Amino acid sequence: MTAKELRNKLRPSASCCVPIAVWLTLSNLAGCDLPPVVESVFDSDTAEAKMAVDVRPVADGTPADERNPVGEPRALPAIRQELGISLVRIESGRFQMGIADGSRFGRFSQCEGPQHTVVISNDLLVARHEVTVGQFQTFVSQAGYVTDAEQSGKGCNGLDVASGNVVRKPDCVWSSPGFCQTDDHPVVCVSWNDATAFCRWLTSKTGQTFRLPTEAEWEYCCRAGSDRMFANGDDADSLRGIANCGDLSLKALCRSLTSTADWNDSYPFTAPIGSFQANTFGIYDMHGNVGEWCLDWFDADYFAKSPEADPQGPEQADTWHVVRGGSWYNNPFSCRSSGRHDGIPTEASTTNGFRVVAQFSDKN
């Protein structure tokens, strides 16, 4: 069975998304057995493969180094084999960060200006996909980690489809977010603290420093060379096929939603990684699926004073960290490249997850 066929087999049907009482308990439904991570296969002669740091083992168990012209840290092959994390090398460069018209979306876009030039000085190794449930499970098992939502006993925030309200439920945690997920779905109900703990664990296993992307690095990778609203256009319809955002499949379950996409992608909640088209950098789900924690503290006025080269965000302007990309819950325009969201570092939501990055150097 191909990766595409397996993803289609796992695509949730309407019967897998029926609300039970007011809270979805789909993670307990039959048919949600966790499959192995789906491998992403590509032709080694393509431009994407030439940029890739893909350390998939060959049949005899040795790393396929010939498919990695840029080289990789020696510890990464085992991590790729164990966790299924695939990295792509993104070259340094400059871009226009933010939105030209800060009033375009009213108060929601006021923090996205002024638009300004940003230089990313160093090449990066960026995860092609968001961290998955299966990968996070390995971390939890090996590190004995307990998430913030579990430690607090309060659980995380999620959508009550009956009322359309965001509610909090103690048993809503990363392993049972209230809807059906497999090992191949992006992990949710993780706080900023949980995401950075995963990065520290991954660093300790590889000897390579992994972290969350800065907000500037994230937008650079999301835009993938584009200066438009989204990576491939300015209209909401340009997200069709590349983003899992709030759509008709979600609206069918939550009738109170008024501003969703006018198409049905069959994923009312999270979609398995790689279900949608990658951007021109070879990175998936930068628009939608789950909002992604960034390294930076959030400051609504930071763009007016941020440095041009490698901005790291304010030292600590507030109690919030940056979240980027929008999610399965957000309307298409909330998933725009310049869109800025925020979250308290100890809080978790069924809409938020993360991806990892590492600095690339010739020593790799």
- Report pLDDT digits (tens) over 269-291: 999 999 999 999 999 999 999 99
Q: What is the pLDDT of residue 63?
A: 31
* Tally: H helices and E strands in the chain: 8, 13
Long-range contacts of 67-76 (CB under 8 A, 24+ apart): 70/360, 70/364, 71/364, 72/364, 73/206, 73/207, 73/208, 73/358, 73/364, 74/207, 75/205, 75/206, 75/207, 75/208, 76/206, 76/208
Span 223-266, pLDDT tens digits? 999 999 889 998 999 999 999 999 999 999 999 998 899 999 99
Among 335, 362, 363, smallest CA distance to 351 is for: 335
Q: Higher confidence at residue 199 or residue 73?
A: 199
The whole-number average pLDDT for the span 290-309 is 94
Quick check: 28 pLDDT over 80?
no
Average pLDDT in the chain: 80
CA dihedral (334, 337, 343, 345) positive or negative = positive
Q: Are 126 and 176 in contact (CB under 8 A)?
A: no
Q: In 3-state terms, the chain is what percent helix, strand and coil (to 5)? A: 25, 20, 55
The whole-number average pLDDT for the span 187-207 is 96
Helix (H, G, I), strand (E, B) or coil at 194: helix
Hey, what domains does the chain have and what are their CATH numbers?
A: 3-359 (3.90.1580.10)
